[in-house]
Structure 1
């Protein structure tokens, strides 16, 4: 767990890639991509072991058990496509409904899952809670306090002669971009212009593996 201050909020960057906001009892995860292995196989791609949905939900269940959030925000691309939701195994559907029970659950629209689901919860393009605004894709010129996902940021750096690569949280004074939470998700290097051009010069990363302190973006690849 890596506590840090963003805009006016005291947040925790969790090793799992989730974000926790204790003052609001709010857990946020991005890019679950549930059903990715099924979607790839359906479209004639490689046959991946079909355990990604179970693994992702197990990890989400562990964070919910640990923090008991009153609100959960899924920050878009929760399903790899809308057909993946329709083909979700009954055991996975029951697991997800159990996690949702008794708490506010917000589905933010993503580019993979732009429509509402039949699982309940709230279905929003974006959500503003206190001082923060949660949306799937970072918007240029946004006011401070934006929390987004979409890019699956990852970073590499050399520590004691050893190269370390990790998914990461990426932030500056205006925006915070979360890593992907899903089990079978890849990542985009924070040095890629699609990501780095969004950020201010003083931006920093926090790895989902040690060390989790703020590392200047200019020092990682």
Structure 2
């Protein structure tokens, strides 16, 4: 059995490798004892990257993603914000960033630490924005990195895989971005508006967990705890 509790705000409070963490309905992880907010895979400027290749998408993904992140910061007033890799969609995303969106990122660093964990899409880190760049980060007995390492990794919190859960019911099925954890490690959902999701039943997740994991599916204002047997492939 997993130890978790649904809070009045709809968040799911649980343990990962002995650390008390809160899984937010936004897709962010909150470490209250460290006053640290963690978000993964923002993929800022993905829309403009696609547009540059002739695939026109509405150019509002960065604006929407930053608005939701600002909402989390306003609600929690963290001492630190950890961006867990692939914050930018590619190495030229920062160049395409609108001036007002760059200012919004600068504002996030005012009065707090802004930590950019590098990912495979943004291995160079930010060039003209404030904050600290790191390959990984250790905090509260957990190791935060972008890409999960192979095999069970006690204490690892990662992103990269963009986990999503599908649950079938008598009237069809529901698919939602999700956290996935076995209480020893956790993989965060993508926070970016255009980031998408990979079903947790995909072979990419095979072998990552020491036991059948639980999904924390993102609902409207609530995280739903779903057991492995209730999850299905696409």
Partner of 1:149: 159
Do the aligned residues in 1 keep the contact of 2:15 with 2:183 (CA within 8 Å)? no
How far 1:142 moved relative to its partner? 5.7
SS at match of 2:75: helix
Partner of 1:99: 108
- Structure 1: runs of 5 or more not aligned: none
Deviates more, 1:97-106 or 1:25-34: 97-106
Structure 2 length as normaliser, TM-score?
0.89
Deviations 1:87-113 (A, max 9, x none): 110010001111111101110010000
SS at match of 1:169: strand
Q: 2:158, 2:169 → 1: CA distance?
A: 28
Q: 1:207, 1:171 → 2: CA distance?
A: 11
1:206 aligns with 2:210: no
Q: 1:20, 1:45 → 2: CA distance?
A: 38
How far 1:197 moved relative to its partner? 2.9
Q: 1:141, 1:198 → 2: CA distance?
A: 5
Partner of 1:126: 136
1:68 aligns with 2:77: yes
Partner of 1:219: 230
Partner of 1:190: 200
Do the aligned residues in 1 keep the contact of 2:86 with 2:122 (CA within 8 Å)? yes
Q: 1:20, 1:196 → 2: CA distance?
A: 26
Partner of 1:175: 185
Deviations 1:171-211 (A, max 9, x none): 01331000000001111000001013322332110101167
Partner of 1:5: 15
Q: 2:81, 2:192 → 1: CA distance?
A: 15
Q: 2:23, 2:183 → 1: CA distance?
A: 16
Do the aligned residues in 1 keep the contact of 2:108 with 2:114 (CA within 8 Å)? no
Equivalent residue pairs, number:
220
Partner of 2:93: 84
SS at match of 1:57: helix
Partner of 1:29: 39
